[in-house]
Amino acid sequence: MSTSERTALVTGANRGIGRAVAAELLGRGLQVLLSARRFDDAREAALELGAGARPLALDVTDEDSVKRAAAEAGPVDVLVCNAGVLLDAGTDPLSVPLELVEQTLRVNLLGTWRVLQAFVPPMVARGHGSVTVVSSGTTAEFGGRLFGRTPGYSLSKSGLNGLTTLVAEQTAGTGVTVNAVNPGRVRTRMMPTQEQLPEQAARFVADVALLPTDGPTGQFLTEHRSR
Ligand SMILES: NC(=O)c1ccc[n+]([C@@H]2O[C@H](COP(=O)([O-])OP(=O)(O)OC[C@H]3O[C@@H](n4cnc5c(N)ncnc54)[C@H](OP(=O)(O)O)[C@@H]3O)[C@@H](O)[C@H]2O)c1
């Protein structure tokens, strides 16, 4: 399938990394569904990106919103699960308010999970698709170093890496790949003092999203600058 025949959907694409990924995929010739919690934000960003970008309302925490988006989107070939929040910066595991952790898990882990449940089965049915989950360098395996100053966020992203391996195992051999990416630290509203621009991170995320579907799956791929 040629690039111009493929449709990508990016969650949380109204700003930050998501918006830059949408622009990058558009630049590489794909049709892009630019989704955001609020339709007006999606429409504004899609208008700015120009022809080939179509706005879509999609709140990852809202079951009805995700189902409506899946129905309106039509076939999606490339899914980038980017929407996320960082709410507990500067806390620690023994005193972080658990409401913050709960809200973080609701968006980052369960929200992404909900999107995967809505969009991956149709990809499997069509026999092809690429899913990229935007994770983070705050994650770690046992024996590694989980970043403790954003405890809820770090665990939500570790959960996403685990979820990526589970879904990849289930889609193995179907033509659908599922990978997680660490985009490195990026200057956005979430991390305003970082050096790397969203456009740089977006090139890496798009490279992963456009890997051939007989390529890697169930992997956690890291932008080399963040190693
Ligand atoms: N910046 C970094 O250094 C960095 C590093 C590693 C990973 N990441 C990850 O990269 C992703 C994008 O982050 P960013 O840095 O671009 O942050 P950002 O500028 O704060 O953007 C976050 C995006 O997620 C959206 N979002 C939040 N809750 C949502 C929901 N319930 N439904 C749909 N969209 C929702 C936001 O929409 P609204 O505008 O409506 O709030 C916004 O579009 C996140 O998953 C983040 O964890 C970032």
DSSP 168-195: HHHHTTTTEEEEEEE--S--SSSSTT-S
| pLDDT tens, residue by residue, 2-28 | 777 899 999 999 999 999 999 999 999
State the fold for domain 3-226: Rossmann fold (3.40.50)
pLDDT tens-place string over residues 22-77: 999 999 999 999 999 999 999 999 999 999 999 999 999 999 999 999 999 999 99
- Is the Cβ atom of 36 under 6 angstroms away from ligand 1? yes
Q: Whole-number mean pLDDT of the chain?
A: 94
Angle (CA) 126-127-133 rounded to 5° is 95
Q: What's the DSSP call for residue 224?
A: G
Query: Is any atom of ligand 1 closer than 6 Å to the C-beta of 16?
Result: yes
Residue nearest to atom 43 of ligand 1 (CA): 12
How confident is the model at residue 144, as a pLDDT?
A: 63
Residues 166-199 have pLDDT tens digits of 999 999 999 999 999 999 999 999 999 999 999 9
Nearest to 69 by CA among 39, 29, 113: 39
- pLDDT value of residue 116: 98
Q: pLDDT tens, 86-138?
A: 999 999 999 999 999 999 999 999 999 999 999 999 999 999 999 999 999 88
Ligand 1: distance of its center to the CA of 209 in Å? 17
Domain residues of the chain, as ranges?
Answer: 3-226
What is the position in ligand 1's atom list of the atom closest to the CA of 138?
Answer: 6
Which is nearest to 179 in space by CA: 195, 193, 161, 191? 161
The response to whether residue 84 sits with its C-beta less than 6 Å from ligand 1 reads: yes
